Amino acid sequence: MTATAPALEFSTTFSSSPVPAERRAEILANPGFGTSFTDHMIMATWTPDAGWHDAGLRPYGPLSLDPATATLHYAQSIFEGLKAYRHEDGSIWTFRPDANGTRFQRSAARMALPELPVESFVESLDLLVRTDSEWVPSGGETSLYLRPFMFASEVFLGVRPAKHVTYSVIASPAGAYFASGVKPVSIWLSSEYTRAAPGGTGAAKCAGNYAASLVAQQEALVNGCDQVCFLDAQERKWVEELGGMNLYFVRADGSITTPSLTGTILEGITRDSILTLAADLQHKVEERAVSIDEWREGVASGEITEVFACGTAAVVTPLGRLAWNGGELRMGDEPGPVTQEIRTALLDIQYGRAQDRHGWMHRIM
């Protein structure tokens, strides 16, 4: 359960029936998001006595689960999401994988799951991407999306932390997250539902947070919006984040503000990177509480000129409209200049077109 646990040794068993090259090329030509998977996966097991063991790469395939597998009942389950990028010279890189590994440990601690050494987390990604490197698409904003996850695999119906835990990584080629490209998205302000409460699991990347957000997302769709924005659970006053992305506000003077981390906001690595990048670009950067009234009044008065969301999957996405029960606010039909500047700066580092001044890129091959 400690960060100093010895790093894992990964065995390798290669697939004897990989997807034929022709079919793979078809998939890579139009990857969509989260629908096709590579030829291999990572698996490892944890038990209290043996710690992490049986770690290896093996052919991608279904898991066989006993109906009493604990995670199916009590959702002791966490995940991560990051991307492998192919650079112009053919090399393949991930972006701050150690930050994902550290967050994975924090999520594990919150959900009473064992911590995986960050070194083993990064190594497992490297091994999977190296093995399935032909699945890393090239060109445009394509990538290989990596999904590490961990769940209670003990067969037991009692409510307590599982004594058998499974770690796995799967990989899926990805095109742009929103089919509409960088067009501004519309956001539904949920007044009925909240995402996270003080003392709850909002800062952990756990499966249950997403389960709890789905009805709010459905409400957004019914109201003609793409995504939900959640307010804080206590006062229903402070802007927190979207269902899977953090928020930034751009002001008329070029400064940018993001809601401060209060334990109920997921600590996005994109959010964190933008704090640094925006400062590099000479923007004044602020982390502080932003109320929904400040958002509405700021857009109305012209004090807030752009609002954007950020996360690994969608990178940086402009918000065009905020709608709620009884009203709406328009923020522009085109991406704003600061949103575009930050989006380009981040993508240029990730795709190797700009110097990596902060040592964020990790070369796999």
Ligand X SMILES: *Cc1c(COP(=O)(O)O)cnc(C)c1O
**Least separation, in Å, of the C-beta of 109 and ligand X?**
17
Helices (H), 35-187: 70-74, 97-110, 118-131
Taking CB under 6 A as the criterion, which residues in 206-265 touch ligand X? 241, 244-246
Helices (H), 250-336: 269-280, 292-301
Identified binder of ligand X from the candidate list 41, 266, 323, 364, rule CB under 6 A: 266
Identified binder of ligand X from the candidate list 269, 278, 319, 345, rule CB under 6 A: 269
**Least separation, in Å, of the C-beta of 9 and ligand X?**
28
> How many angstroms separate the CA atoms of 263 and 204, rounded?
9
Report DSSP state, residue 252.
T
Residue 311 near ligand X by CB under 6 A? yes
Helices 337-350 & 269-280 angle (0-180, nearest 10): 110
Toward ligand X, which CB reaches closer, 105 or 270?
270
Specify the residue for token string 């689960």.
Answer: 65
Toward ligand X, which CB reaches closer, 167 or 177?
177
Task: Give how far the C-alpha of residue 114 lies from the chain's centroid of Cα atoms, to the nearest Å.
Answer: 21
Helices (H), the chain: 21-29, 70-74, 97-110, 118-131, 207-222, 269-280, 292-301, 337-350
Toward ligand X, which CB reaches closer, 99 or 329?
99
**Least separation, in Å, of the C-beta of 94 and ligand X?**
12
Toward ligand X, which CB reaches closer, 27 or 212?
212
What string marks each residue from 168 to 207 as x (binds ligand X by CB under 6 A) or -?
-------------------------------------x--
> How many angstroms separate the CA atoms of 303 and 35, rounded?
41
Taking CB under 6 A as the criterion, which residues in 62-91 touch ligand X? 81
**Least separation, in Å, of the C-beta of 271 and ligand X?**
6
Total residues at interface with ligand X (CB under 6 A)? 13
Toward ligand X, which CB reaches closer, 208 or 254?
208
Give the residue from 360, 315, 344 showing the smallest Cα distance to 175: 315
Specify the residue for token string 């090239």.
Answer: 138
Toward ligand X, which CB reaches closer, 103 or 251?
103
CA separation (Å) from 301 to 217, 297, 336?
29, 6, 17
Binding site residues, ligand X, CB under 6 A: 81, 205, 241, 244-246, 266, 268-271, 311-312
